[in-house]
Chains A and B, each alone.
Chain A
Amino acid sequence: GAGVSQSPRYKVAKRGQDVALRCDPISGHVSLFWYQQALGQGPEFLTYFQNEAQLDKSGLPSDRFFAERPEGSVSTLKIQRTQQEDSAVYLCASSFIAPQETQYFGPGTRLLVL
Chain B
Amino acid sequence: AQKVTQAQTEISVVEKEDVTLDCVYETRDTTYYLFWYKQPPSGELVFLIRRNSFDEQNEISGRYSWNFQKSTSSFNFTITASQVVDSAVYFCALSEGRDSGTYKYIFGTGTRLKVLA
Contacts and interface: CB of A to CB of B under 8 A. Distances in A.
Contact of A45 (B4, B37, B45, B104): B104
Contacts of B91: 42-43
Contact of A44 (B33, B46, B100, B107): B107
Interface in B46-100: 46-47, 50, 91, 93, 95, 97, 100
Interface residues of A, number: 27
Nearest to B52: A100
Interface in A76-96: 89, 91, 93
A25 interface: no
Interface string B20-62: 0000000000000101010000111111001000000000000
B35 A102 contact: yes
B100 A56 contact: yes
Contacts of B105: 33, 35, 43, 45, 93, 103
Contacts of A43: 45, 91, 105, 107
Interface in A46-99: 48, 55-56, 58-59, 89, 91, 93, 98-99
A43 B91 CA distance: 9
Contact of B44 (A42, A48, A98, A108): A108
Contacts of A35: 105
B43 A99 contact: no
Nearest to A33: B104
A107 B35 contact: no
Contact of B109 (A42, A58, A100): A42
B102 A91 contact: no
A29 interface: no
Given A45-B102, A99-B101, A104-B47, 17 more contacts: A33-B104, A35-B105, A42-B109, A43-B91, A48-B104, A56-B101, A93-B45, A99-B103, A100-B97, A102-B50, A103-B47, A103-B105, A105-B37, A105-B45, A105-B47, A108-B43, A110-B43
